Amino acid sequence: MKFVHIADMHFDIPFTTLNKNNFGIQRRLEQRNILKKIIQYILENKIEYLFICGDLYEQEYIKKSTIEYINQLFMQIPQTKIYIVPGNHDPYLKNSYYSKYNWAPNVYIFQNKIQKVDNGNIHIYGYGFGSFYMENSLINEIQIEQKDDINILLTHAAIDAASAGSEKYYNYNPMPKNELKKLGFDYVALGHIHKPYYNEEENQKIIYPGSTISLGFDELGKHGMIVGEISENKNLKIDFIPLDEKEFTEYELDISEKYSKEELIEQINSIQLENNKFYELNLIGQKNFEINSHELETYTDEKIIKIKDKTKIKQNLEEIAKQNSLKGIFVKNMLQKINQQPEEKEKIMKAIQIGLENM
């Protein structure tokens, strides 16, 4: 059996943090084009199964016209069985398009309970989100019935949530990888983690394809789909195919020797940028004048989507805080705020810079 495994397309996501030059509209058009690519690949390679493992769309923002666009593409591959498990961004709700829309006949949507679909000697198990959170996994309710056949599990989950470094992962169908391995599935198709995870260990069968398109600068690197084949004797072959023609990347620029906005803009515009990449420009070093990142973005190449000011204030703040003056009292109080609210350090440092420049 041949299959394509995708997840986390997030159709109609607003891209509110990437608003330069109508960038959100551009990315949404690219989302649509990538689904076309996937369907074309399926047609050309006679793929039997398409697994979509959650967050196909954004429940809060999805438009009916987008659902119709997706469904029209699904109708172009009637010989391919399409299985969808809802995720935390597109849960199976009473008012969601998963429950109220008339999907193409080749589409099967799992609900928030263990379900099993039989296709001869191929058995597809799956379950999705019934709300925006799922604190308890259902894997303990799964038992493979025909162990000699090919058995596949689809879900949207946070594997080994305890090692993910944040308690928030416990709210998204958490499950230990070791427990998942014990179930004995020949392939586990997952969604939720936007970074591809498919060749980290020998004979790996638990797979995240990552998001099909990068949604921002926290998703660097290649994005695409997993294509696979399972033989009758259960040998698994998989490959990752990049789909997103654009790649998000970061670039650091030391501005310590620049003394005006004009000099800085000239320096930024002299950077050699690659056409297939979007850039987050991180300004580092010591700054000699106040910087307005949003203003800089309007004067720079459209491939620079975001500029972050990560420079350091030139003055020795600890020494200034010791001064018996208005400036010293101001800096001392602000440094105390940083100790009390370390998560706000970047904002407080900017406030110090502005304050010192106006004293």
pLDDT value of position 160: 81
If we measure between CA atoms, which residue out of 233, 197, 274, 284 comes closest to residue 7? 197
What lies within 8 Å, CB to CB, of 28 at 6+ separation is 11, 12, 13, 15
pLDDT mean across residues, the chain: 90
Q: Residue 232 burial (CB < 10 Å; 0-12/13-18/19+)? A: exposed
pLDDT value of position 168: 58
pLDDT value of position 171: 85
Query: pLDDT, tens digit, for every residue of 217-247?
Result: 888 889 999 999 999 999 999 999 999 888 8
Flag whether the pTM goes above 0.85.
no
* Beta strand spans in the chain (E): 2-6, 49-53, 81-85, 107-109, 115-119, 122-126, 150-156, 158-159, 174-175, 187-191, 206-207, 224-230, 236-242, 247-254, 277-284, 286-287, 304-309, 312-313
Query: pLDDT, tens digit, for every residue of 41-87?
Result: 999 999 999 999 999 999 999 999 999 999 999 999 999 999 999 99
pLDDT value of position 10: 96
Contact 258, 267 (CB under 8 A): yes
Expressed in percent and rounded to 5, the helix, strand and coil fractions of the chain are: 30, 25, 45
pLDDT value of position 164: 47
195 vs 202: CA distance, rounded Å = 19
172 vs 214: CA distance, rounded Å = 21
Question: 9-43: buried (b, 16+ CB within 10 Å) or exposed (e) per residue?
Answer: bbbbbebeebebeebbebbbebbeebbebbbeebe
Domains of the chain, start order: 2-242 (3.60.21.10), 247-357 (no CATH)
Q: Which residues of the chain have pLDDT under 50?
A: 162, 164-166
pLDDT value of position 97: 98
